[in-house]
Structure 1
Amino acid sequence: MRVPAPRRFHLARRLGLPAALAFALLAPAHGSTNPESPYAARQGFAFALLSNLPSREADEDVVAQLLTQFGTETDLVIHTGNIKGRNERCDDETYAQRHALLNQSPVPLVLVPGENDWAICDRPEAGQYGPVERLNRLRELFFEPDNSLGMLTLDLQRQSETVRFRGYPENARWEYGGILFVTLNVPGNRNNYRTGAGRNGEYEERIQADASWLRQAFAAASRLKTRGLVVVFAADPLFGGDYRIANGTDPYAMLKADLARLASKYAGKVLVVHGIHVPPSMPRPDHPLKFNGKVLRNVTRVKTYGTTHPAYWTKVSVEPGNKDVFRIETLNMAPRPPQPR
C-alpha cells in the first residue's frame, strides 16, 4: 500500500532523515510545503526563531550550523531581522552573501527586515546609503517571489498583492498546521521615525500598511477559526511603556494599540515574536499586552536570541493537545570550530 505523502514525510523525520530529504519524498518540483498543513494540524509541528545573525562574516559558520540543526528539529524557520551587523556595509555584495547563506536552510525560512538591514544604512560605518533606497533593494532581493527562502519553500501571501500596498512585499502571511503567521516591517531604530523637518513620509505610509495588514490577519484568523496567530516583527516596542523620543512621540503607539484591541476580540492564542531591545540575560515569554487595564492572557510575547547568545535559539512547538497551543523552549547549539570548505 502506498503511504500518503504527509505520513511518509513524518515517518522520514522520525527515522532521523533531514527535512530536505524527507520533503524530497513528497514535494512537487516547486517545493511548496503548504499541502503538509492539514496533517501538521493533526500531528503537530515546530518552528525555529532566529534573529540578529549573522552580525559579521565570522558568524556565518554558526548560522550554517544552526540551519542544519533546524532541518532536523523543525519544519520552518522565522528570522526576525538584522541579517547584518550595524557596522557592516549595506552594499549589494553583503546582501547577496547573506541571501545565499539563508537560502541554504533545509526547511522554509521566512525573513522580516530589521533596522540594520535598511533603516540605519545612512550611518558612515554602514556606507551612508539611503535607507529607503536600501529597503527597496532588499525587497527586490529577498521579498519579490511569492515563496519563502530555503531549499524547500512555503507559498506566501504578500501585501504587495493588493493595489493600495503594492510596495510592501516584505509583509507576508501564510497558514500552516492550523496556525496563521503574519510578518510586519517594524524596524528597531524608533520605527524609522525621523525627527527632522518636513513630512515623515516613509514612516507614515508604512505604519498604515502595517496596521492594515495586521487587521487583515486577525480577520483571516477569525474567519478560518485558527487555534493561534503568530505576529512577527523586528523591533522591541516596549510593551507596557512608552518609547518616547524628543518630541514626545511613541513611534510604536499604533502597533501596540492595534495589537491589544484586535487580540482582545480574538478567540485563539496570539504569539508575538520580536527581536531584543537590549542584550538580554535570557529572554523569557511573558504577557505584556493589556486592554482596558486587563492583561490579555491569550497573548504571549517571546524575544529572540541574537548576537549576544549566538549559540542559543528558540523552538516553538505547536501541539494538538496543548490548550496553550504554543510550547516555547530554549535550545543551545554548541558551536563547532569552522569546518574546512
Structure 2
Amino acid sequence: MRNKPFAHYKKATVTAGGFCPAPPILARLSLALLLALAACTAHIPPPLPSGARAALQFALIGDTPYSAAEAAALDSMIEEINREDLAFVIHVGDITGGQGPCSDEWLEARKRQFEKFRRPFVIVPGDNEWVDCHRSGFDPMERLSKFRELFESGDTSLADRSLKLERQSGRYGEYREHLRWIAADVLFVGVNVQGSNNNLGRTSAMDAEHRARMAAVLAWLEDSLRLAEQRDLAGMLIFAQADPDFEGR
C-alpha cells in the first residue's frame, strides 16, 4: 500500500557494473529493490539477447491504478513507456486500492490494460489485490487464486510474450507468481511478499498461508542464489510489493 499520490514509473539501467536507477520520469516509485552479488542452478530459460555484460534498460511500476481515475491516467503512462526503448516492464503489485475494488471485472480490465504494453510485461501481486480484499467482503485466498489465473498462468511475459519465464515448481508449484529470468547478466527474481503484515495475524487460516508462502519464498531465493553463483552472473535483482525496510524506519 502506498503512502503517496499516484505512483508512476521509474526507468532503470542494468550494466555489468551493477544496477543504476535513472532519475524518475514522472513521480517517485514506492518500490523495494535488492541488488545482491549472486548466485545460480536449475533449468532456466536462456538470457535475453542483450549480450553478455551489456547495458539494459527497463521500467518499474508499482501501486497503480487504485481507482477509475488512475486507470484512465495509466493509459497515458503506458503510451509514454511504449515510446521508450526498454527491454521489459515490471509491476510490483497493488493494482487496486486498499479498499478495493477486488472484483473479477476490475482485475480483468487491468489485464486488458496491461496487454497494451509493447514490451514484455511481468507482474507480482500486491497486498491490495488479495490480502486486503477481506475489507470488501472477498476471501483473500480466492482472490490470490484469481490473480494467478489471470496474470501468472503462462511461462512467458504478458503483452509482448517474447520473454521466457521460469516459475517455481515441484513442491512449491502453486506459487507461480515466484518467477525469474536472466537479462544483461543479471538474474531478475520476483516473489510474493506483502504489506498489511504480510497476511499474518488476522485468522489462523491466513497465518498458515503466511508460513507456507514464506517457506516457498525462502526456498526460491536460496535456489536463485545458487543459480546466479553457478552461472557466474554479475548480480541479482529481487522485486516484491513489500518494503524490506533496509533503513530501519
TM range (shorter): 0.7 to 0.9
Paired letter, 2:117: S
SS in 1 for 2:156: coil
2:82 aligns with 71
Deviations 1:136-193 (A, max 9, x none): 111111101111111343110000xx22001100000101121110000001111111
Q: Distance in 2 between matches of 1:231 and 1:166?
A: 19
Aligned-residue CA RMSD in angstroms?
2.0
1:171 aligned residue (160, 178, 203): 178
2:30 aligns with none
Contact 1:51-1:80 within 8 A present in 2 as well: yes
- The alignment status of 1:131 with 2:143, answered yes or no, reads no
- The alignment status of 1:113 with 2:122, answered yes or no, reads no
Deviation at 1:61, TM superposition (A): 2.9
How has the CA–CA distance of structure 1 residues 241 and 44 changed in structure 2, closer, same or farther, with 3 Å as cutoff?
closer
Paired residue total: 204
Where do residues 78-157 of structure 1 align in structure 2 (5 Å cutoff)? Answer: 78-123=90-135, 127-157=136-166
Q: Distance in 2 between matches of 1:171 and 1:153?
A: 19
How has the CA–CA distance of structure 1 residues 226 and 234 changed in structure 2, closer, same or farther, with 3 Å as cutoff?
same
Q: Distance in 1 between matches of 2:197 and 2:111?
A: 26
Deviation at 1:87, TM superposition (A): 2.3
Q: Distance in 2 between matches of 1:204 and 1:218?
A: 21
User: Given the two structures, how large is their TM-score scaled by the length of structure 2?
Assistant: 0.76
User: Given the two structures, how large is their TM-score scaled by the length of structure 1?
Assistant: 0.56
Deviations 1:49-75 (A, max 9, x none): 100111111112322222222223221
**Structure 1: gaps (5+ residues):** 1-33, 243-341
Higher Cα radius of gyration: 1
2:167 aligns with 158
Instruction: Give the percent of matched residue pairs that are identical in Structure 1 and Structure 2.
Output: 34
Deviation at 1:226, TM superposition (A): 1.1
**Structure 2: gaps (5+ residues):** 1-44
Q: Distance in 2 between matches of 1:215 and 1:35?
A: 20
- The alignment status of 1:48 with 2:59, answered yes or no, reads yes
- The alignment status of 1:60 with 2:71, answered yes or no, reads yes
Q: Distance in 2 between matches of 1:145 and 1:51?
A: 21
2:38 aligns with none
Deviation at 1:240, TM superposition (A): 4.7
- Higher relative CO (Cα under 8 Å, sequence separation at least 6) belongs to 2
